[in-house]
Amino acid sequence: MGVVQRKNSHFVSSAIHNQIGIKKIYEGENIKNMKEHTNNKKLRELGIAMLVITIMFIVSMFAGTFINMGELDIYLPEGISAESFVPEKGIAEISADPHDSRHMVVHAKGRGREYLVNQNPEDGQPSFEYVKVLRGGMIVNEVNGNYSGYKSAVVTTAVYVLMLEILLAVSFVIRCRDDLFSYTTIYFGGAVLFMAGVAVSLAVVTLKMLSDPITYTMEYFYSQIKGAGGTFMLFSLPLLLIFSLALPISNISLIRREGLNFVNVLGFILSALIILSYLVEIFYVGRFVSGSATYVRITGAIDSTLTTCFAYLEDMLISAMICGIISVKRKVAFDKTHVMILGCAISDDGTPLPLLAGRVDRAIEFAKAQKAATGKGIKFVPSGGKGSDEVISEAESMRRYLISKGISDADIIAEDKSTSTEENMRFSLEKIKADCEAPKIVFSTSNYHVLRSGIISKNEGLDADGVGSKTRWYFWPNAAVREFVGLLVSKKKEHAFWAVFFIVLFAVINMIMPM
C-alpha cells in the first residue's frame, strides 16, 4: 500500500511539474507573440503613415499648382526693372511688384508662346523673356524651367522626402532591434542611406532657391537631381577606393586558408566592378556631350540613371556592412538554455584551429557571463561533421576542447552530421528540441559570420541570437559582399522597380529640362 502511495505521490508530483513547465512555455510564447504582434503593429502603422504622406504629397502638389495656375513669378537680375517689360502678343500680361522692382508677375490671358520684351535694355541686359502658356493656364518660363507654383512644388517635395526618410529610419531601427537577421532589414538600411542623401540634397537646393530665386531656378533644381548620383559617388570615393583595395587582399587571404572557390573570388569581381563604375563616371558620364537636343537629352538620361543606380547599390552594400557590425555589437539577453557553436576547419591532429577555438571560447565566455548575471546554466551544442580531410568531426574536436576548458561532458550535446551552416542550424535544432521543450538558443561563430548565420537560422525556422568571436579584418570585406549578393537576389523585384523608376524619372527630367 505504501508503495502504491509513493508511486501515486510521484505521479502527482510529475504531473504538477509538467503543468508548471507547460505553463511557463505558454507564458514565454505568449510574451514572445505579444512582442511580435506589437512590433508588427508598429511596422504596419509606419507603412500606413508612409502611404498617407505619399497621398498628401500628391494632393499637395496638385493643390499648389492649381492655386498658382495662371500666374508665374519672374525675378530679374540686378539693375533691371519689371516696369520695362511688356508682352508682345497679348497672350499674357505683366504686373510689377510695388515692393520689389525686379519682381514681376505674369498673368495668363490665352494660350501659346509669349515674348516679354524689355523696352529699355542696357548693355549686357536681356532684351526679352519668353514664356509659354499651356492648357488650363499653366505658365512655363522656357529660359529657366520655372512654372506656375514651382516654389510650392519644390518645398513640398523636400518636406515629403524628409518625412519619408524619418519614417524609413524609424522602421530600420525597429527592424534592427527585432528582426536584424533579415535581408528586408538590410534593404531598409540601404533605403535609409539613399533617401538621406536625397533629403539633404533637396534641403540644400530648396533653401538656395528660396533665398536667391534669380540664380537658383528649376533648371538648377533639375540639374542637381540629375547629378545627385555622381555627387554621391564623388563623396564616397575614398571609402569605396579603400574597400575595393581591401577586397582582393581579403580574397587572397581566404583562398590561402580555404582554397579557391566562387565565394572566395566574389571580392575580386565586385572590386573590378567598383573601379569600372568610377572609370565610366569619369570618362563616359563626365565627358562633354554635343549634338542635337534629342541626343543630348537621351544621353543625359542614360548618364543620370547609371550614376544613380550605382549610388543606390553602393548604399545597399554599406547597409550590409552596417548590419554586420550591429549584429556583433548588440547585446544578447542572458536567458538562454543552449549555445550552439558553429564548426569550421580543424587541424591535422584534430584540435581546433584558432578560428574555431575562438568560437568555442566565445561560447564559454557567454555561458560564464550568463551564469554570473542570472545564475542560469547553459548547455553547449558543438555542431559540425567530419570533412574528407579531417581525422575527427568538428563537433568532437570542439567537445574535447570544451572539456579541456572545464565544461562537463553532461552539459555538451554534440551534433556531428552537418556539412554546412544550414545543416548546423537544422540538425542542432533537432537535438536541442529533444533535450528541451522550450529552448532559448544563442549561436556562437566568428564576428564576420554572425549576420549570415542569423539569416540562415531564421530561414531554418530557428529563433536564435548570435555572438561572435574576434577575427582578423580580412574576413569582413568578403562577408559584406556575400550579404550584398544575397540582398540583390532576395530583393530582385524591389531593385528592378527602382531601376525602372530611375529610368522614367530621368527620362522625364531630361525631356522637360531647358536646354
Are 395 and 326 contained in the same domain? no
Percent of the chain that is helix, strand, coil (3-state, to 5): 65, 15, 25
Set of cell numbers at residue 81: 526693372
Are 210 and 306 contained in the same domain? yes
Set of cell numbers at residue 49: 503613415
3-state secondary structure 219-269: HHHHHHHHHHHHHHHHHCHHHHHHHHHHHHHHHHHHHHHHCCCCHHHHHHH
At 242, phi and psi to the nearest 5? -65, -45
Are 218 and 293 contained in the same domain? yes
User: How many Cβ atoms sit within 10 Å of the Cβ of residue 334?
Assistant: 17
The last residue of a domain, from among 86, 112, 141? 141
Are 197 and 311 contained in the same domain? yes
Are 325 and 373 contained in the same domain? no
Are 129 and 205 contained in the same domain? no
Nearest to 449 by CA among 306, 328, 330: 328
Are 316 and 424 contained in the same domain? no
186 and 482 in contact (C-beta within 8 Å)? no
Are 262 and 354 contained in the same domain? no
Q: How far apart are CA 34 and CA 39, in angstroms?
A: 9
The last residue of a domain, from among 141, 168, 195? 141
Would you give the DSSP letter of residue 147?
B
DSSP letter string over 303-329? Answer: HHHHHHHHHHHHHHHHHHHHHHHHHHH
Full residue range of the structural domain in which residue 187 is found = 179-330+490-512
Inter-axis angle of helices 475-490 and 450-459, to 10 degrees? 30
pLDDT at 16: 43
Are 326 and 348 contained in the same domain? no
User: How many Cβ atoms sit within 10 Å of the Cβ of residue 76?
Assistant: 20
The last residue of a domain, from among 404, 422, 439? 439
Across the beta sheet with 379-383, what order do the strands follow?
379-383, 338-342, 441-446, 464-469
Spell out the per-residue pLDDT of the chain, length 515, in tens.
444 444 444 444 444 444 444 444 444 444 445 555 566 788 888 889 999 999 999 999 999 889 999 999 998 888 788 888 889 888 999 998 888 888 999 999 999 999 888 887 775 566 678 899 998 899 999 888 999 999 999 999 999 999 999 999 999 999 998 899 999 999 999 999 999 989 999 999 999 999 999 889 999 999 888 888 888 888 888 888 888 888 888 888 888 877 787 777 888 888 888 888 888 877 776 566 666 778 878 888 888 898 899 889 989 989 998 999 999 999 999 999 999 999 988 999 999 999 999 999 999 999 999 999 999 999 999 999 998 888 999 999 999 999 999 999 999 999 999 999 999 999 999 999 999 888 999 999 999 899 999 999 998 888 889 999 998 887 888 888 888 888 888 888 999 999 999 999 988 888 877 76
In a domain, 196, yes or no: yes
Q: What is the CATH number of the domain that holds 372?
A: 3.40.50.620
Q: Please give the torsion angle defined by the CA atoms of residues 369, 373, 374 and 380, in that order, rounded to the nearest 10 degrees.
A: 0
SS3 at position 183: helix
> CA–CA distance from 223 to each of 130, 148, 232 (Å)?
21, 19, 14
In a domain, 386, yes or no: yes
In a domain, 450, yes or no: no
In a domain, 223, yes or no: yes
pLDDT at 36: 55
In a domain, 33, yes or no: no
Q: How far apart are CA 451 and CA 443, in angstroms?
A: 11
In a domain, 357, yes or no: yes
In a domain, 193, yes or no: yes
92 and 86 in contact (C-beta within 8 Å)? no
Greatest CA span in the chain, whole angstroms? 124
Would you give the DSSP letter of residue 351?
P
Q: How far apart are CA 287 and CA 281, in angstroms?
A: 9
Which run of H or of E encompasses 353? none
pLDDT at 3: 42
Amino acid at 133: V
pLDDT at 14: 44
In a domain, 286, yes or no: yes
Nearest to 145 by CA among 230, 243, 224, 241: 224
427 and 415 in contact (C-beta within 8 Å)? yes
SS3 at position 341: strand
214 Cβ contact partners less than 8 Å away, ≥ 6 residues apart: 75, 76, 77, 102
**Residue corresponding to grid cell 591535422:** 348
Strands 100-108 and 92-97, how do they pair?
Answer: antiparallel
Q: Look up the pTM and report it.
A: 0.81
Question: Considering its fold, how many domains does the chain have in total?
Answer: 3
Are 256 and 197 contained in the same domain? yes
Q: How far apart are CA 68 and CA 150, in angstroms?
A: 9
How many Cα atoms within 13 Å fall on the side-chain side of residue 20?
Answer: 6
Would you give the DSSP letter of residue 67?
H
Are 405 and 310 contained in the same domain? no
Set of cell numbers at residue 304: 543620370
Are 266 and 394 contained in the same domain? no
pLDDT at 229: 85
SS3 at position 511: helix
